Amino acid sequence: AQSVTQLDSQVPVFEEAPVELRCNYSSSVSVYLFWYVQYPNQGLQLLLKYLSGSTLVKGINGFEAEFNKSQTSFHLRKPSVHISDTAEYFCAVSEWHSGAGSYQLTFGKGTKLSVIP
Amino acid sequence: DAGVTQSPTHLIKTRGQQVTLRCSPKSGHDTVSWYQQALGQGPQFIFQYYEEEERQRGNFPDRFSGHQFPNYSSELNVNALLLGDSALYLCASSLRYYEQYFGPGTRLTVT
């Protein structure tokens, strides 16, 4: 069964500084990987996804992530953060379940990013 | 293009009661998944519906049940509510195997 570990529960960073949010996963099969962002009292918004191909994935709002198969990681990065990036970020892995004939999405516990003015 | 919509936005129930939450998927999507997000936690998968059938189920008791209608909309029912059922319930839709788009959620408080 797949699992997702987000290594930092909270990350404070100064405005315009770079940030990296770490995510490791475990799975016995090929997976798809996602990062979602959740603003207070809202649902989840897809930031970026890795399905196949280039291991460097670019998403919305200037975020990017790199898939590293050997280290089973999918870390999220942004070179310069803004106040508006303050939110909770969730890493998720989607694994094929042959018995059900569908994919199941498993989330990490989230990382709260706080951007300090 | 309307995204995923959920109703109601908030509701308060008493222990032992039953509740029904509703979800309309994004236009063109045929698969609906439901998640429970407790305070300070990541979303936990409840179940997924495709072609009006439950295709997968997470580690949730039978008190949690669902339905998908021919227009792809879906309901989540929870019977015999417990205090621990208080959470944000998220609905996500997708076109079969592709990425899931989430609605704003329904905040359920059980007192």
> What are the DSSP E strand ranges found in A1-117?
3-6, 10-14, 19-21, 23-26, 31-38, 44-50, 56-58, 64-68, 73-78, 87-97, 102-107, 111-116
Are A97 and B44 an interchain contact pair (Cβ–Cβ within 8 Å)?
no
Query: Is the bond preceding B8 in cis, omega lying within 30 degrees of 0?
Result: yes
Query: Which residues of chain B have a CB within 8 Å of the CB of A46?
Result: 99-101
Domain count, chain A: 1
- The residue assigned the tokens 């379940």 is A97
Condensed to tens digits (0 to 9), the pLDDT of residues B49-62 reads: 998 999 889 999 99
The residue among A41, A45, A102, A109 with the most chain B CBs within 10 A of its CB, best to mutate, is: A102
Question: Does the distance separating the beta carbons of A107 and B105 come in below 8 Å?
Answer: no
A59: domain CATH number is: 2.60.40.10
Look up the domain containing A53 and give its range. 3-116
Domain-by-domain residue ranges, chain B?
5-110
Confidence tier at B91 by pLDDT (50, 70, 90): very high
Q: Is the pLDDT of residue A86 over 70?
A: yes
CB B9 within 8 A of CB B104: yes
- pLDDT more than 70, % of chain A: 94
B70 sits in the region (left: phi over 0; alpha: psi -120 to 50; else beta) called alpha
pLDDT band at residue A100, thresholds of 50, 70 and 90? low
B5-110 falls under which CATH superfamily?
Answer: Immunoglobulins (2.60.40.10)
pLDDT digits (tens, 9 = 90+) for B10-68: 999 999 999 999 999 999 999 999 999 999 899 999 999 998 999 889 999 999 999 99
CA triplet B70, B99, A1: central angle to 5 degrees?
100
